[in-house]
Amino acid sequence: MNIGQAARASGVTAKMIRYYDEIGLVRPSARTESNYREYDDRQINELKFIRRARSLGFSMEEITRLLSLWRDRGRPSREVKAIADKHIADLDARIAEMQAMAETLRHLSHCCAGDDRPDCPILADLTEGSAPSDPPAHRPRRA
């Protein structure tokens, strides 16, 4: 099948298929006499594999390694598990960082009166890098 058909069959855009081909992530496709790429079922399965791995947030380096292990039918599953476990730990760390950011912003938003006055603890924090501990007593708190 041609690249457009491969894109539809795999759910990967033609542009990304070309990119994966350029960086050597997928095996080189056969070419027609007019130099068009041709893809077979094996390559479509690899593209689907890559699309799914990307949807789970794996890096290109991790995907390269996972794809290599997937192609190797004699692979030890512990290598695959180690990659997945490291990725889980990385995701957990990023989630914790994002939760901390959300909590900080929640606190800053709570401290901001959100009225017509120019004083704003959110902007103050962005300028100074430190969140106020409590909103000033004269400002009404937002519900």
Mind listing the pLDDT tens digit for each residue in 31-59?
888 888 899 999 999 999 999 999 999 99
What is the reported pTM? Answer: 0.75
- CB 112 within 8 Å of CB 140: no
The pLDDT of residue 29 is 80
Helix (H, G, I), strand (E, B) or coil at 31: strand
Q: For residue 60, what pLDDT band results from cuts at 50, 70 and 90?
A: very high
Percent of the chain with pLDDT over 70: 90
Q: For residue 133, what pLDDT band results from cuts at 50, 70 and 90?
A: low
Q: What is the residue-wise DSSP string for 53-106?
A: HHHTT--HHHHHHHHHHHH-TT--HHHHHHHHHHHHHHHHHHHHHHHHHHHHHH
Walk me through the domains of the chain, giving residue ranges and CATH numbers. 1-57 (1.10.1660.10), 76-143 (no CATH)
The pLDDT of residue 137 is 43
